[in-house]
Amino acid sequence: MNNRWLGRRSLLAAGFLTLTLTSIDTTASAAQKDIRVALFIDNGQGYRNTLPAYTLTSETGFSLSLSGKNETDLPDVDEETMRFRVDEFQLIAKETSSLNEAQRIAQQLSQRKLDAQIRLVKKGNKNTYRVMSGTYDTYQLAQTQAKTAAQATGTNPEIIGPYHLEVDEFKSLKEAEKWVEEFEDAGIPAYTVLVGGSKKADYAVWIGAEKSEDQLHTLEAKASAKFPRFSYKEPSSEEYVLVSEEVIDGSGETAVSYTFSPEVKLTVSPQKGKDELIGVVEREQRRYHGDMEVSEYKGKLTLINELPVEQYLYGVVGAEMQTGWPLEALKAQAVLARTRALSQPDKYGIADVSDTVLEQAYMGATKEAADVRKAVDKTEGEVLQYRGKIIEALFYSNAGGMTADGTEVWGNEVPYLRPVESDDAYPANAANQWYMVSLQDGTIGYVRNDFVTMNGETNELGLSIGRVNTDNLNFRSGPSTTYHKVIQSLPLGTEVTIIRQEPEENAYAWTRGPYTASEITAMINTSQKANKGTTFSTPIQSLEVTKRGPSGRVIEMEADGKELKVSSPDAFRSVFKQGESSLRSTKFEVEQMGTITAIGANGKKTTVSGDAHDWYAMGAGKKLSLPNSYADSFLILDGGGNWRVATKDQMFLLRGQGFGHGLGVSQYGAKAMAEQGYDYKEILQHYYRGIKIDD
């Protein structure tokens, strides 16, 4: 280890660090500032994560207000669950008196990834269940989804729309609900409505859910014939909430449902009480401090959590680092998280940040703990600045031993970010261990070491022999259950030859593959098309790193001698992507398993790849074997006397270190420094170079 780490004072004594910490400004601390966090939003610029409805929970009930041209207080709701959606086009898949039938159809919709809801409608003394889907902001989109819903359920879904007629206003909720039931009983869809525009909401009854204004004339004639005592008109206010009931579980339990005008926003707060938190069912039922704001933004239903910055940080630090880590590491994370939160105000138009790793993970009160709150409180208001401005505070899981330079991530230098050593090896040291093993037929793969019993035997090559001690053991292509596929299942007692031991996939060390030439070609072609690079018509046989940055991260690559195009060096992580999984970092090596170099007489080197008909290799068993007459993979000794797996046909194995972009603070490195006695300021000073605050 570099002597920088040996003495607690050596890091500061170097004299090249000038970072200090301060409050955000001289007039107000971060504790007095609120932050708006997008839990669901479509910002219209590439980030899209929305649903047609959101379900909020509160043990104390809800206080609500409606904001349009004016602020209107809505009646408190004492129930623990509420649903929210925008008044737009919807589908009615089925109306039935059977809850079981309604739930079956709703399940069919859900299986096709369509929104499903069951609205409870009172008709006389009977319950009617209206199975619905949506909302959709255009009639055309509703038509398209109606076809999918019809295929899923075997029904003929009806499209309803956001055009209504106002019947009258009433003094009480009870009276309004009575008339809603009367209209529904007469076959006319009706709603209890909360109408805004003044300090306190008025109760009204609206009828219809028409697809256009033209259809309102037919609706008016029908309603006038059945209920001539009322006069019917188009609503005079665009500030409204339609109130209904939705079934929320298999028992038929219901929740209040608010369908609101696209012209307003609803602010939802927990009523005062012992547990003043709001849960969001669609966010893994996490619970949050502060208020929730529900509105339509860029045509989509959004959900914003607004709360004080310091309370927000409780949910960030607990998500980004683990409770139980050294307090000084948690304090460093708190300063980083606060700096990052305040560096990009209004990034999403109506929100400052999202709750995802696009900025930093935020899980609300779910991840809070006493030490996390203490770390935030002890650093209250502190942020990092460079030349008087808040920096873009970057952090990630693991640097793989060395942090990145700006040129290795963005392609340009950042004055306060330079490669530094980072003690990140803890995940590898703490990981479960796996054996790379060879079966008797020569197949090579991985099993966890605790599922193999050693009996002291070795073969003529000196490799240990063991036996599988459990039945149906998964034999995998690499040392993890997450990223590596199952090759086959091994029965109890299977004999295996141990080639070497490796740690399980972890934040410090990882592998991807082996990938066939066809698989690697498909990945690269997808990336090349996106970046307007040369594509490959035949399977790639050579993949090489041609340039690395100061920390050893990949910044240029070639395949079969042709340059791989990327938008930035860090984008090499996304080139080798399978499904949703990209590479953990750009600090990796490419092992060309089908390429073999032999040193002959006078040091002459011979390299072959692909079909190696004239080559012999030592198997993991007791015999010399010709590769093409044995297994698809076989063992060779590398120049250092270590066993290496080679393949008859070209395959590619990527071996990497680190987890994340590598710029700024390594969280595992911060943990190690805190355990060695450094305080949070010293930790930040190590990773951020030349930063100071102008007083």
pTM, two decimal places: 0.85
Structure tokens given for 307: 């709360």
Three-state DSSP at 586 gives coil
Q: Taking Cα atoms as reference points, which of 449, 498, 444 lies closest to residue 653?
A: 444
DSSP 8-state code for residue 469: -
Q: Give per-residue pLDDT as tens, 208-233.
A: 999 999 999 999 999 999 999 999 99
Per residue in 312-346, pLDDT tens?
999 999 999 999 999 999 999 999 999 999 988 89
| CA–CA distance, 378 with 310 (Å, rounded to integer) | 11
Q: Which of 573, 562, 565 is nearest to 536 (CA)?
A: 562
Written as one letter, the residue type at 124 is G
For 317, counting Cβ atoms within 10 Å of its Cβ (0-12 exposed, 13-18 middle, 19+ buried), the class is: buried
The separation between CA 224 and the C-alpha centre of its own chain, rounded to angstroms, equals 53
Give the model's pLDDT for residue 252.
86
Q: Which two tokens stand for residue 451?
A: 């599922």
* Nearest partner of 404 among 45, 82, 662, judged by Cα: 662
**Is the Cβ–Cβ distance between 378 and 335 less than 8 Å?**
no
Dihedral sign of CA atoms 40, 41, 47, 51 in order = positive
Give CA–CA dist 509/503, Å, rounded: 8
Which ranges of 270-405 does DSSP label H, i.e. alpha helix?
Answer: 309-320, 327-342, 370-378
Secondary structure class of 308 (helix, strand, coil): strand
Rounded to whole angstroms, the Cα distance separating 410 from 570 reads 7
Please state, in angstroms and rounded to a whole number, the distance separating the CA atoms of residues 376 and 235.
49
For 115, list phi and psi in degrees, rounded to 5: -60, 140
**Cis peptide, bond prior to residue 514, ω within 30 of zero:** yes
**Could you tell me if 625 and 682 are in contact, meaning their C-beta atoms sit under 8 angstroms apart?**
no
What does 622-683 look like in DSSP terms, one character per residue? SSEE-GGGS-SEEEEE-TTS-EEEEESS-EEEEEEE-BS---SEEHHHHHHHHHTT--HHHH
86-131 pLDDT tens trace: 999 999 999 999 999 999 999 999 999 999 999 999 887 789 999 9
Task: For residue 278, give both structure tokens.
Answer: 């709001």
* Residue 498 neighbours by CB distance under 10 Å: 20
- How many CB atoms within 10 Å of residue 159? 17
C-beta of residue 194 within 8 angstroms of C-beta of residue 142:
no
Interval 517-532 mean pLDDT = 95
Q: 537 CB contacts (<8 Å, ≥6 apart)?
A: none
Confidence band for 18, pLDDT divided at 50, 70 and 90: very low
Q: What is the pLDDT of residue 5?
A: 36
At 16 the pLDDT is 34
Smallest CA-to-CA distance from 44 within 348, 311, 395, 288 is with: 348
Residue pair 585/597 in contact (Cβ under 8 Å)? The answer is no
Rg (CA), the chain: 32
**Could you tell me the sign of the dihedral formed by the alpha carbons of 652, 653, 658, 659, in that order?**
positive
For 83, the enclosing helix (H) or strand (E) is strand 81-86
Give the pLDDT confidence of 119-162 residue by residue, as tens digits. Answer: 999 887 789 999 999 999 899 999 999 999 999 999 999 999 99
Give Cα separations from 281 to 37, 547, 688 (angstroms).
17, 47, 39
Token pair 């970072």 is at which residue? 19
Beta-bridge partner residues of 245: 120, 256
